Amino acid sequence: MKVTALIPDDLITEVKELAVGKNLTESLILALKEWTSIQKLRVIREKVGKKPLEFSNNFSALYVRDINRS
């Protein structure tokens, strides 16, 4: 998708330096992919924080390991 955006020069320079893409487009793609990954992790962290994972009373790591190995 072709996009026109007004982005401050200093931010573009910083993205080019940190993302280390072949060109500006690749650097922006890398930066946006990383940002979206971080945001997805933040959402998951918030969900787990609100309702932590719970194991059932009869949970056995050895039983699960045996299932995975078979």
Give domain status of residue 65, yes or no: yes
Predicted model pTM: 0.69
Give domain status of residue 2, yes or no: no
* Number of domains the chain contains: 1
Give domain status of residue 29, yes or no: yes
Residue 59 has a pLDDT of 86
Residue 2 has a pLDDT of 92
Residue 41 has a pLDDT of 97
Q: Note down pLDDT in tens along the chain; length 70 residues.
A: 899 999 999 999 999 999 999 999 999 999 999 999 999 999 999 999 999 888 888 888 898 899 999 8
Give domain status of residue 57, yes or no: yes
Residue burial 33-58, b: 16+ Cβ < 10 Å; e: rest: eeeeeeeeeeeeeeeeeeeeeeeeee
Give domain status of residue 50, yes or no: yes
Give domain status of residue 46, yes or no: yes
Q: Which domain holds residue 51?
A: 9-69
Residue with tokens 């893409």: 21
Give domain status of residue 25, yes or no: yes
